[in-house]
Structure 1
């Protein structure tokens, strides 16, 4: 089975819809962070970057009196649950291996514990830790990291670079 690339994932209409909400810049930056962390942790770069790219696709907007209300959003946040479901469906539609889709969706689900009544410290797999750390590296107070702008063509260019690097690393490992 051929690897589904990050560019293919990004270009799908479902990804486009949900990354507009959570921020293309943030998603791509977290995927770049995840590649570096995955290499250091000896974790699948393919799984780490896909999980990182899709980690916030469950975000929704929470407005009060016509203004974004970050505190209200945090109180009612279930983005990781919605994102895990959306990521799994998307990857299956793209023809991704079912085990890959499952691992990615679990990493999306567990990239944060903001929706849980307990912390996930020491309960995540290495892949899930990589995605959580990659996300944390780009976070800014008040959710400002979700509002950084990036043109979709720039995102595709950067994701092509990641896809090439993952292919190069995989080739080296296989030979």
Structure 2
């Protein structure tokens, strides 16, 4: 039995604050993509969905003369670092098993390489899935962060995703 559900994460005020900033519709779409890929790959879908849901909570806004400046943002982006920290703190606060919280945070940290020095970094399956889920939902110029979904629909989709994870039958064990 999972100790922290996606609905617990999604409805927490801290998650709501940062998900609204980075795009709730994008976060939920990525969580669905990650869940499906995780089940196919034999990866824990609970960890994948949580990491994908929270992968962009480190975003902040870059403006020039009152206008969103996507190029300035891209040049100075460290959202994965900030997001991994925020997600870990939130998950621990909610009662997530510490090893699971760490795995989720690492997947968030490595979902993009925009802040990393040149070169390849070897990623585990969970980290690869979160990166691919994000890429599957991207739109040019960062427009995926501005798609809109109403709160009732969003909550319904999160609850449905929780049910899908429970039905996946993945052997969710305590990580040691």
Give the TM-score taking structure 2 as reference length: 0.94
Structure 1: 4+ residue segments shifted above 6 A: 171-174
Note closer, same or farther for the CA distance 1:173–1:88 as it changes in structure 2 (3 Å cut): closer
Two-structure CA RMSD over aligned residues (Å): 1.6
In the alignment, structure 1 residue 151 sits paired with structure 2 residue 164: no
Query: What is residue 135 of structure 1 aligned with on the other side?
Result: 134
Q: CA deviation at 1:98?
A: 0.2
Q: CA deviation at 1:8?
A: 0.6
Within 2, Cα distance between the matches of 1:171 and 1:44? 6
Within 1, Cα distance between the matches of 2:57 and 2:172? 31
Q: CA deviation at 1:171?
A: 6.8
5+ residue gaps, structure 1: none
Matches within 5 A, 1:26-41: 26-41=26-41
Q: Give the conservation status (yes or no) of the 8 Å contact 1:58–1:84.
A: yes
Within 2, Cα distance between the matches of 1:136 and 1:2? 27
Query: What is residue 75 of structure 2 aligned with on the other side?
Result: 75
CA deviations 1:33-55 (Å, max 9, x no partner) are 00111111111000000000000
Q: CA deviation at 1:172?
A: 7.9
Within 1, Cα distance between the matches of 2:118 and 2:155? 37
CA deviations 1:67-89 (Å, max 9, x no partner) are 00000000000000000000000
CA deviations 1:1-39 (Å, max 9, x no partner) are 742111110000000010111000000000000011111
Give the TM-score taking structure 1 as reference length: 0.94
5+ residue gaps, structure 2: none
